Structure 1
Amino acid sequence: MGNDSALIDTLLRQLSTAFKIRDLGTPHFFLGIETVPYGDGLILSQRRYMKDILKRAGMTDCKALATPAAVTQSATPSLTPFENPTQYRMIVGALQYLTITRPDLSFSVNRLCQFMHSPTDDHWGLLKRVLRYVKGTQEYGLRLSLSPSSNLHAYTDSDWAGCPVDRKSTSGYAVFLDTNLVSWVSRKQRTVARSSTEAEYKGLADVSAEVTWVVSLLRELGLHSGTPATLWCDNLGATYLAANPVFHARTKHVEIDYHFVRDKVAAGDFIVSFVSTKDQLADIFTKPLPAPRFQALRDKLNELLVVASL
């Protein structure tokens, strides 16, 4: 990477003396991801890959749906094993790769992955719903545009005890480099949280680790602005805990995460701020949402999901 074309060309010539390389120029299609020019940036699209997934699942002509997960349907294990678990694992694995450019699928795909070992007919039904949503959003992709600055900010959220099977919480976060979404995740927590504050604080610790890595990468590239990253959390308890130097006895069970985040805040690396649940963008990564709420959050993620004219 660099902004000096002459220096980059010199480096490529030097590398070509030792290795057999070929400069393919501007990327257009790489590892199933297509780059489409769009305004002052580009869109990363996997439209061809989506069509291939639908074909493999035999759902090319299925009816489209507005959301990938139903609000009222629970992912509880049934007693009827799915007759073709290999097909289930193959398609879910393909959907995992699709989340590279489709963050709106992260929660639903993460939930499907939790039943890889023994999928049932109910889980196959959940998978088919995700595919029906993909059917209606094949023109969507991840938008990247020029950024006026390299400031970092992130949203983090957790759905406390949201899993009906083991009552573990699901955490999600979205990390932005100025206006561009650069990192996101939807993941079930490893342990059962004893309070909503604990669940939110564990999510805060996860996004703190991710932002720390992004900052180190930006510093290595010489692109870090030096401005502390802002972490937005919609839980006042977790927000106060990050700023309070006094450790409360009732939070001993989150001591490791507490010290990690607290040290970052004390060092001035992060600023933890409160954001209302209405404006919490990471909510899309933690639970099924009604169609209006889901689509509003999807669009608010920097308008990252836009119709691509391919």
Structure 2
Amino acid sequence: MHAPDASHFLLFKRILRYVKATLHLDLLLLPSPNMSIQAFSDADWASSSSDRRSTGGYAVYLGPNLISWQSKKQRTVARSSTESEYKALANCSADISWLTSLNPVCHDRTKHIEIDFHFVHEKVARKELQIQFISTKDQIADLLTKPLSSSRFAFFWDKLRPCSRSPSACEGSIR
């Protein structure tokens, strides 16, 4: 912000075009007896060319409904892709913990990967969290962490269940 150049202006224009093109979209919430929480997390290791910090992101669903998401540059430089993935997973786990307890305690861990590892390990040991490999072709969190082709973006965007604001488009949904 202190020394913007032409590339910053181009990115700003791109963001404004995106916001303008999506103003008509809402988040679709459907009534469902399914109250299970499912989450997807991912990280794009060392993706920032200016400081080599990773971008982490996650999407959390309650039944079929997206209820929480984040895409954020990580606060520290990860020395491996595994470390950046653990940081993203720890942030996702903290959000799930908060959502399940509705106790707004900050669990942001940035000192070292060991803290993230132990945080996640504890959740797995207590059976509060189940870790599964998700193939890149099904990784919804890629939408939040990676540049995607138009077709992959559209595929994952649809998985977020966006809904047009037109009255008939989202009948029976909660906005």
Normalising by structure 1, report the TM-score: 0.49
2:164 is aligned to 307
Whether 1:268 aligns to 2:153 is: no
Between structures 1 and 2, the one with greater helix share: 1
1:202 Cα offset (Å): 0.9
Residue 124 to residue 261, structure 1, CA distance change in 2 (3 Å):
same
1:29 is aligned to none
Amino acid at match of 1:307: S
1:189 Cα offset (Å): 0.8
Aligned-residue RMSD, C-alpha: 1.6
1:136 Cα offset (Å): 2.8
Q: 5 Å matches for 1:57-206? A: 116-206=1-91
- Alpha-carbon distance between aligned partners in 2 of 1:182 and 1:200, rounded to the nearest angstrom: 21
Any idea what SS the aligned residue of 1:132 has? helix
- Alpha-carbon distance between aligned partners in 1 of 2:24 and 2:35, rounded to the nearest angstrom: 29
Match of 2:140 among 281, 289, 297: 281
- Alpha-carbon distance between aligned partners in 1 of 2:137 and 2:120, rounded to the nearest angstrom: 24
The higher radius of gyration belongs to 1
Structure 1 stretches of at least 4 aligned residues deviating more than 4 Å after TM superposition: none
1:131 Cα offset (Å): 1.7
1:295 Cα offset (Å): 1.0
Higher relative contact order (CA 8 A, sep 6+): 2
Any idea what SS the aligned residue of 2:147 has? coil
Residue 269 to residue 184, structure 1, CA distance change in 2 (3 Å):
same
Count of equivalent residues: 159
Any idea what SS the aligned residue of 1:281 has? coil
Q: Which runs of 5+ in 1 are unaligned?
A: 1-115, 219-252
1:121 Cα offset (Å): 2.8
1:244 is aligned to none
Whether 1:216 aligns to 2:73 is: no
- Alpha-carbon distance between aligned partners in 2 of 1:217 and 1:149, rounded to the nearest angstrom: 19
1:286 Cα offset (Å): 0.7
Any idea what SS the aligned residue of 1:270 has? coil
1:117 Cα offset (Å): 4.3
Amino acid at match of 1:217: L
Amino acid at match of 2:39: A
Deviation digits for residues 143-184 of structure 1 (CA, Å, limit 9, x no counterpart): 111021211110000000000001110000001111111100
1:120 Cα offset (Å): 2.7
1:119 Cα offset (Å): 3.0
- Alpha-carbon distance between aligned partners in 2 of 1:273 and 1:200, rounded to the nearest angstrom: 13
Q: 5 Å matches for 1:287-302? A: 287-301=146-160
Amino acid at match of 2:74: Q
Q: Which runs of 5+ in 2 are unaligned?
A: 104-111, 168-175
Q: Which stretch has the larger CA shift, 200-209 or 284-293?
A: 284-293
Any idea what SS the aligned residue of 1:153 has? strand
Normalising by structure 2, report the TM-score: 0.85
Any idea what SS the aligned residue of 1:171 has? strand
1:124 Cα offset (Å): 1.7
Any idea what SS the aligned residue of 1:275 has? coil
